[in-house]
């Protein structure tokens, strides 16, 4: 049984990855500082999989604690790194906190991963590193330019750090996964997007408005050069994303990689506007959302959707769930936690 460390494993995407790993026979360790997650998620994971993963409350910025953790662990076969701050808007307000948290934590982790007998890393990156591209869909070779936020820049810098380490150490194997917009929840409705802080992503804002947590939903910008004036994104089910991580770590464990650093987009290849998402949610829920338009939000791009052909061919990963599946499961999750 391979042992996998998942940092940020109690967060939204991380918890779904833990479930998929355990369902595929992996032994999972979780590190999380609980800054935007809850320890209760451990119990929900164990209800789904009948296995409670080992949990360690550690701030990865603390170099000594990270060092001590690895010293006390037996063989770790791979690391999947999610632990990072992820709000575009907050990063514009407090950029130094984002650089400190996202970069220093990665460096402290890499210093210990490199010492492992066979170091393997799956890194959680973002389509935000592309900025606003000229040609769609976005491929892994689309140029990164005009990056719009410190958050996106931390992801770009992190990728470069991992790439440089891979160049200097041939035994260090890594895969960078660039996500587009994750939505939805596990079919059990026991885990989902339930951040401690106010969410910045569209779908949880929609569901929380629908359930009455917020009085209204703000749409940032209706003057973009899109069919309805609102931004277009590629929305992918979180379980599809989670399964891509299992594919990626197996790819490294089974030594199927032909190079020790590689990058993959994870998306559906279909762009959907903010208004289209809202209208679809209203249709499936039977509710009318109270929303207003505001000026464009700093850091946002107009349109972004993926070409995931590379992940399809090399990792054997293909999204299985539809946009409708994602919205339905997100709404079921929201209703479940407010029962």
- Compute the Cα dihedral for 314, 322, 193, 271 and give only its sign: positive
Domains annotated on the chain, with CATH: 3-183+236-267 (3.40.50.720)
Rounded CA-CA distance 98/90 in Å is 9
Contact predicate 206/279, CB 8 Å:
no
Best CA proximity match to 257, nearest among 170, 145, 331: 170
How large a percentage of the chain has pLDDT more than 70? 100
**Tens digits of residue pLDDT in 117-163:** 999 999 999 999 999 899 999 999 999 878 889 999 999 999 999 99
> Exposed, middle or buried: residue 177 (CB in 10 Å: 0-12, 13-18, 19+)?
buried
Would the pTM of this model clear 0.95, i.e. be above it? yes
> Exposed, middle or buried: residue 225 (CB in 10 Å: 0-12, 13-18, 19+)?
exposed
Task: Quote the tokens at residue 33.
Answer: 């500082």
For tokens 């997100």, the residue is: 330
Rounded CA-CA distance 43/52 in Å is 7
Per-residue HEC secondary structure of 75-101 comes to: CCCEEEECCCCCCHHHHHHCHHHHHHH
Which of the residues 151, 179, 224, 305 is marked catalytic? 151
Residue 243 pLDDT > 90: yes
pLDDT band at 199 (very low <50, low <70, confident <90, very high): confident
**Tens digits of residue pLDDT in 70-114:** 999 989 999 999 999 998 889 999 999 999 999 999 999 999 999
Q: What is the pLDDT of residue 197?
A: 75
DSSP-derived secondary structure letter, 38? -
pLDDT band at 241 (very low <50, low <70, confident <90, very high): very high
Helices in the chain by DSSP H: which ranges? 12-23, 40-49, 63-71, 88-93, 95-99, 105-113, 150-168, 202-211, 238-253, 274-285, 309-310, 323-337
**Helices 323-337, 274-285: crossing angle, 10 deg rounding:** 60
Contact predicate 253/77, CB 8 Å:
yes
> Exposed, middle or buried: residue 79 (CB in 10 Å: 0-12, 13-18, 19+)?
buried
> Exposed, middle or buried: residue 151 (CB in 10 Å: 0-12, 13-18, 19+)?
buried
Rounded CA-CA distance 149/187 in Å is 33
151 catalytic, yes or no?
A: yes
Rounded CA-CA distance 19/23 in Å is 6
Omega before 137 within 30 of 0, i.e. cis: yes
Task: Quote the tokens at residue 131.
Answer: 């900025």
How large a percentage of the chain has pLDDT more than 90? 92
**Tens digits of residue pLDDT in 32-44:** 999 999 999 999 9
Residue 196 pLDDT > 80: no
Mean pLDDT, residues 163-176: 97
Residue 283 pLDDT > 80: yes
Mean pLDDT, residues 1-21: 97
Best CA proximity match to 265, nearest among 135, 91, 137, 150: 137
* CA distance from start to end of the chain: 38
Q: What is the pLDDT of residue 339?
A: 81
What average pLDDT is seen over the chain?
Answer: 96
Contact predicate 225/172, CB 8 Å:
no
**Tens digits of residue pLDDT in 313-333:** 999 999 999 999 999 999 999
Q: What is the pLDDT of residue 148?
A: 85
């Amino acid at each position: 049984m391979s042992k996998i460390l998942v940092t940020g494993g109690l967060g939204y995407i991380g918890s779904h990855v833990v479930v998929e790993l355990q369902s595929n026979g992996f032994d999972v360790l979780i590190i999380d500082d609980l800054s935007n997650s809850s320890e209760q998620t451990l119990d929900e994971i164990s209800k789904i999989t009948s296995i409670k993963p080992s949990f360690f409350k550690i701030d990865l910025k603390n170099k000594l604690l990270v060092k001590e953790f690895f010293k006390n662990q037996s063989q770790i076969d791979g690391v999947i790194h999610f632990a990072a701050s992820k709000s575009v808007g907050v990063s514009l307000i407090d950029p130094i906190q984002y650089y400190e948290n996202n970069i220093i934590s990665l460096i402290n982790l890499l210093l210990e991963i490199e010492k492992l007998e066979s170091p393997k890393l799956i890194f959680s990156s973002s389509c935000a590193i592309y900025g606003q591209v000229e040609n769609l869909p976005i491929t892994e070779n689309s140029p990164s330019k005009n990056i719009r936020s410190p958050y996106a820049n931390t992801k770009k810098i992190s990728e470069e750090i991992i790439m440089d380490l891979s160049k200097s150490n041939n035994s260090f194997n890594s895969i960078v996964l660039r996500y587009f917009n994750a939505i939805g929840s596990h079919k059990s409705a026991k885990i989902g997007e339930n951040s401690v802080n106010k969410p910045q992503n569209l779908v949880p804002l929609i569901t929380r408005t629908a359930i009455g947590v917020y009085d209204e939903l703000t749409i940032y910008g209706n003057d973009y050069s899109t069919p309805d004036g609102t931004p277009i994104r590629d929305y992918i089910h979180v379980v599809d994303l989670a399964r891509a991580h299992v594919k990626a770590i197996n790819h490294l464990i089974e030594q199927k990689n032909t190079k020790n650093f590689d990058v993959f987009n994870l998306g559906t290849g279909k762009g959907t506007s903010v208004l289209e998402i809202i209208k679809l949610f209203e249709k499936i829920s039977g509710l009318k959302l109270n929303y207003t338009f505001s000026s464009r939000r700093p850091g946002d791009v107009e349109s972004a959707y993926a070409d995931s052909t590379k992940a399809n061919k090399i990792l054997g990963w293909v999204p299985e769930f539809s946009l409708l599946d994602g919205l339905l499961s997100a709404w079921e999750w929201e209703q479940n936690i407010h029962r």
